[in-house]
Chain A
């Protein structure tokens, strides 16, 4: 590669640097393979980027915060510049958080950017996950990447929670106390885990330092690895695309990484940073100075977790305080059952791709996305899940619903207890019907064209609306999806007369498959014959 032997013309400095690097890192072949990588264009494909960039912003601001934060529970007396706390006894962790907020240049802004970015990060992951779910982008070959994403969401939640617990203020301490209560509710091992985690009785003098290691080292380290793996898989699988003319399972239609997406993604990073920084400059988040230092004998109302644990908070608040006693051991079902439900709700999301591919028997690769309406059962599941999650989330702030809408907090709780189970069912049925309605609309559009809004009067006096026929491209987009058939059980007696009974799981699978793809789950899409019959001769009907 080197041109050093040719002395007639010296290569420009940039080229020589690149040559030097290529000789050692092999960047040319790497660039050749990846610089022209094609990415399709759709705004919803950028939600993952929002996650990535907010994660980077969290790391950058977090590093700055570590320079000044003291993860210690040693008791000190505050003499800083926030007057209403002067002379208070508090932990060094809380004092250093106050110092970051009031006495360190840029500290409060960076603290707020860090925290706002964390809320946005988790929200963006959730939205990104919804996009992937509703378009069916989790199907083969991307199930593993779906799991990586799911793990990132769960780890992000834990990282957020440990960070929320670090300042050792009254709000965070109350949150940690609830987490400890959850741990204690685990049968048999709960007390041991709690004693191990807190180094003795709660709160002890260790947990801030321990949470600090977990928050800044362990969890972000794992997450960083998962992010890299997630991105490698995105490149390896290539990006999915929405169906359309010229788009197949074997190609990707879009713009190259260099220069288009380099510029777009690079610019987008700064836009994300700008939006989050602007929000952090405008609005307070977690005003630790107002909370006071943590003391186990104090508590305040409005003690809620950050939003990503609001759903778990909501189901704890909704759960009756059941408690049973077995052979002298108390089992706190009022806490343990919500913990299980929270785990189950999350797990349902994680295993859905595997469940769907098992039920439908679909083992093919999918690179073309589904429009949500064309997969009504999946869409209905997704909406039902979101409704369940949303109802739980509502109850996480039941006191604020009560005060702001002049309701009784007891009524809100009862409403949630009932709707947590009923609303997802209603949502499932309604969503499926809406999907079918949209399919019917697509069918009408294909067969009869777009309503133009032009009213024509015929010679005999009848008024008709002129329908404009769709273009070939639009027709293709609306009809290219496939409509799978449900799995059939093999006949119990085959042609040789051998009886082969289907197992229970096979029967369940056939039943579920019928629910997914059987009768009433889709509107038959128009066939070419139907289209020709209608469009030939009459033009419209």
Chain B
């Protein structure tokens, strides 16, 4: 203490005290200022909307209109929600390559960060389905059998028994669901893209959607088992019939020719 009191009139003492005071107030401020964090988030959100709007003006506005109001070339995006944007852009369906019966799935050209910005901008135009979080679509704790029943009741008439895809009228089609990201399956059910009906939570609960996603993961993904051998596309009796004619009967005809060619011929000298 003697040392301290001896130096309290030292020319630099005031500077030291000032540094202490600044450190304490700064520390306290940092510890007790959660309001500031929220404020920072707000900024990020508006920043995302800002960035999304820029991306939108470059990549989407020519068809969907400068403010997302739609045009003769593309529908209005007001109220479609972030889930629709994430589905369409992340599966490569948007931006559209050319007008046609249906937008096919292709390589996504935007990064996930950019897609989130686009989604933020579109979501800001009007309330709509929100892109799901991982806990909503992950198959943990889902009832696979129930999902199968729901799938056969609501989806199989277009997508086939286990989601191998099928034809719709005039060149449209229900795409194969093999190895589709669970998040996108969930979003498709939420938003009903293209020719698909939508299944909002009021029609099909979150739990049911999760069950369906889990069912598809179990029966139609790279992890699902094929106990019977080659699947032949999983398209039912048509591919089986083709296989039976080409490989079944084809092989048997080849064998018949082989057997007939090897005969006990009487050798004439």
Please give the distance in Å from A100's CB to the nearest CB on chain B.
12
A422 part of interface (Cβ distance < 8 Å):
no
- Docked-complex contact A402 and B227, CB < 8 angstroms: no
Interface residue from A283, A397, A407, A408 paired with B243 (Cβ < 8 Å): A283
Query: Across the interface, do B161 and A408 meet the contact criterion of CB distance under 8 Å?
Result: no
Q: CA A298 – CA B149 in complex, angstroms?
A: 9
Question: Interface 1/0s, chain B 146-178, versus A by CB < 8 A?
Answer: 101100110011111110111111110110000
Chain A residues with CB under 8 A of B257: 43
Q: B121 on the interface (CB 8 Å rule)?
A: no
Contact B161 A275 (CB under 8 A): no
User: Could you tell me the distance between the alpha carbons of A398 and B248 in the complex, rounded to whole angstroms?
Assistant: 23
Bitwise, B163-195 to A at CB < 8 A (1) or not (0) is 011111111011000000000000000000000
Contact A271 B255 (CB under 8 A): yes
Bound CA–CA A283/B229 (angstroms): 5
Q: Is the CB–CB distance between B219 and A84 below 8 Å?
A: yes
Which of A150-158, A240-248, A286-294, A532-540 sits within the interface? A286-294
Determine whether A85 belongs to the interface, using a CB cutoff of 8 Å to chain B.
yes
Are B232 and A300 neighbours in the complex by a CB distance under 8 Å?
Answer: no
By the criterion of a CB under 8 Å from any partner CB, how many residues of chain B are at the interface? 62
Whether B13 sits at the interface, judged by CB under 8 Å, is no
Bound CA span A354–B4, Å: 129
Q: 1/0 per position for A290-334, CB-CB distance to B under 8 A? A: 111001011111111111001000000000000000000000000
A122 to chain B, nearest CB (A): 9
Q: How far is the CA of A237 from the CA of B256 in the complex (A)?
A: 23
The answer to whether A268 touches B228 (Cβ under 8 A) is no
Query: A301 touching B158 by the CB < 8 A rule?
Result: yes
A80 to chain B minimum Cβ distance, whole angstroms, is 12
Task: Check: B269 CB closer than 8 A to any chain A CB.
Answer: no
How many angstroms between the C-alpha atoms of A281 and B226 in the bound complex?
A: 12
Residue of A nearest to B257 (CB): A43
CB-defined contacts of A93 to chain B, threshold 8 Å? none
Minimal beta-carbon separation of B161 from chain A (angstroms): 5
Comparing A112-120, A141-149, A441-449, A458-466, the segment that makes contact with chain B is: A112-120
* Residue numbers in B under 8 Å from A119 (CB-CB): 240-241, 244, 248
| Residue in A closest to B162 when the chains form the complex, CB atoms | A290
A302 and B264 contacting across the interface, CB-CB below 8 Å: no
Q: Does B145 count as interface, using CB distance less than 8 angstroms?
A: yes
Q: Mark A46-59, 1 if CB is under 8 A from B, else 0.
A: 11011000000000
Instruction: Give CA–CA (A44, B219) in the complex, Å.
Output: 43
| A108 adjacent to B165 (CB under 8 Å) | no
A178-221: CB near B (< 8 Å → 1, else 0) gives 00000000000000000000000000000000000000000000
Contact with A along B238-249 (1 / 0, CB 8 A): 111111110111
Contact B245 A300 (CB under 8 A): no
Contact indicator A284/B145 (Cβ below 8 Å): no
Judging by beta carbons under 8 Å apart, are B153 and A297 in contact? yes
Pick from B161, B167, B245: contact of A123, CB below 8 A: B245
User: CB within 8 Å of B: which of A212-240?
Assistant: none
Q: Once the chains bind, are B236 and A303 in contact (CB under 8 Å)?
A: yes
Give 1 or 0 for each of B2-41: 1 = CB within 8 Å of chain A CB. Answer: 0000000000000000000000000000000000000000
Taking a contact as CB atoms closer than 8 A, the residue among A46, A49, A300 that contacts B161 in the complex is A300
- Most chain A CB atoms below 10 A, which of B169, B235, B240, B241: B241
Chain A residues with CB below 8 A from B158, complex form: 301
Nearest residue in B to A85 (C-beta to C-beta)? Answer: B145
Q: Contacts A50-B252, A302-B160 known; A283 to B232 CB distance under 8 Å?
A: yes
Give the contacts of B217-269 with A (CB-CB under 8 A): 218-219, 226-232, 234-245, 247-249, 251-253, 255-257, 259-261, 263-264
Interface flag for A8 (CB, 8 Å): no
From residue 248 to 303 of chain A, which have CB atoms closer than 8 A to chain B? 255, 260, 264, 267-268, 271-272, 275-276, 279, 281-287, 289-292, 295, 297-303
In the complex, the answer to whether B238 meets A171 with C-beta atoms within 8 Å is no
Chain B nearest CB from A458 CB (Å) reads 39
Query: Given that A124-B249, A400-B167 are known contacts, is A47 also in contact with B228, CB under 8 Å in the complex?
Result: no
Judge whether B249 and A291 touch: CB under 8 Å.
no
User: Which residue of A is nearest B251, CB measured?
Assistant: A275
CB contact between B241 and one of A43, A268, A275, A307 (< 8 Å): that residue: A307
CA distance A407 to B172 in the complex (A): 9
Which residues 25-50 of A have a CB within 8 angstroms of B? 41-47, 49-50
Taking CB atoms, residues of chain A closer than 8 Å to B218 are 83-84
Supposing A43-B260, A86-B145, A276-B248 touch, asked if A302 and B255 sit within 8 A by C-beta, the answer is no
Q: Which of A41, A101, A120 contacts B244 (CB 8 A)?
A: A120
Taking CB as reference atom, which chain A residue is nearest B143?
Answer: A87
Whether A410 contacts B169 by the Cβ 8 Å rule is yes
Expressed in whole angstroms, the Cα–Cα distance for A11 and B181 within the complex equals 80
| A284 CB contact (under 8 Å) in B143, B165, B173, B226 | B226
Query: Is A102 located at the chain interface by the 8 A CB criterion?
Result: yes
The verdict on A88 contacting chain B, using a C-beta distance below 8 Å, is yes
Per the bound structure, the CA–CA distance linking A276 and B240 in Å amounts to 13
Residues of B within 8 A of A284 (CB): 226-232
Task: List the 10 closest A-B pairs by CB distance, nearest first.
Answer: A307-B241, A284-B228, A301-B166, A119-B244, A300-B156, A399-B167, A43-B260, A408-B171, A397-B238, A402-B167
